[in-house]
Amino acid sequence: MLFSPTNIVLTIVIIWLALLNFYLFKIVAGYKKLAHGTKNLNLEQILEGIHARVDLSEKRVNQLVEEIAKLEIANKFNIQKHALIRFNPFEDTGGDQSFVAAFLDGENNGIVISSLHTRNGTRVYAKNVISAKAGSHQFSKEEKEVVEKAAHRV
């Protein structure tokens, strides 16, 4: 009598108990993993501790976000972009000993420095840059080129 009603019910009960044991062991293992490192605490105390750590972490993350925003604003005013062009402004001198350098912040404000080298000496000029455009003095061709080059750097 292999398929008697008693054997069928007994088989179903054994399978049911095996499934319940499997899930019970899984739950107990999860609880032990959750309670790892705690001493004689119940589940409510463990969850309160986790909740407190999450709240503290959220506060720290918010503080870091605020600090990063402040640093990003402050960093806009640091020199972030630069470019250099060497050139020969006069045909009677040899080499590209003259140069133009631009130094710009995050909003393309800054200065452009020009150095013109001749046989008699070297002259240095500085002009302000506002939003990648000339301030109170016009740019030469080289100055305009170097400011545009610096402004398009990322």
Crossing angle between the packed helical segments 5-34 and 43-75, to the nearest 10 degrees: 50
Banded model confidence at residue 20, pLDDT cuts 50, 70, 90: very high
Residue 94 clears pLDDT 70, i.e. is over it: no
The model's pTM is 0.58
φ/ψ of 11, rounded to 5, equals: -65, -45
Banded model confidence at residue 40, pLDDT cuts 50, 70, 90: confident
Task: Give the residue from 149, 43, 48 showing the smallest Cα distance to 103.
Answer: 149
The CA distance from 48 to 81, in Å, is 50
41/44: higher pLDDT: 44
φ/ψ of 82, rounded to 5, equals: -150, 160
Residue 48 clears pLDDT 80, i.e. is over it: yes
93/109: higher pLDDT: 109
Residue 33 clears pLDDT 90, i.e. is over it: no
Task: Give the residue from 99, 136, 97 showing the smallest Cα distance to 119.
Answer: 97
Q: Retrieve residue 25's tokens.
A: 């062991």
Count of beta carbons in the 10 Å neighbourhood of residue 19? 10
The CA distance from 88 to 86, in Å, is 7
